[in-house]
């Protein structure tokens, strides 16, 4: 199987999957999903740490 899938795809897949998790965490805390999808795709693990450390946003009045 390793000879059919280049090894660069596996870390790239995990990077994007972690970015999607980061976007879901941030969206659950009240942040913009679209912006976090982009940040998650670019940042990966860094975006996940950022999303976990951010406080929950209060509802707009």
- Is 37 within a domain? yes
Looking at the 3D structure of the chain, how many domains does it have? 1
The structure's pTM equals 0.80
- Is 61 within a domain? no
Domain limits for position 44 = 9-53
The per-residue pLDDT for range 24-37, each reduced to its tens digit, is 999 999 999 999 99
- Is 21 within a domain? yes
In which residue are the tokens 């941030």 written? 26
The per-residue pLDDT for range 7-61, each reduced to its tens digit, is 788 888 999 999 999 999 999 999 999 999 999 999 999 999 999 999 998 766 5
């Amino acid at each position: 199987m390793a000879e059919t899938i280049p090894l660069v795809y596996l870390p790239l897949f995990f990077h994007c999957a972690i970015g999607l998790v980061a976007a879901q965490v941030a969206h659950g805390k009240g942040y913009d999903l679209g912006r976090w999808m982009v940040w998650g795709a670019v940042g990966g693990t860094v975006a996940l740490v950022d999303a976990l450390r951010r406080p929950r946003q209060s509802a707009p009045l």
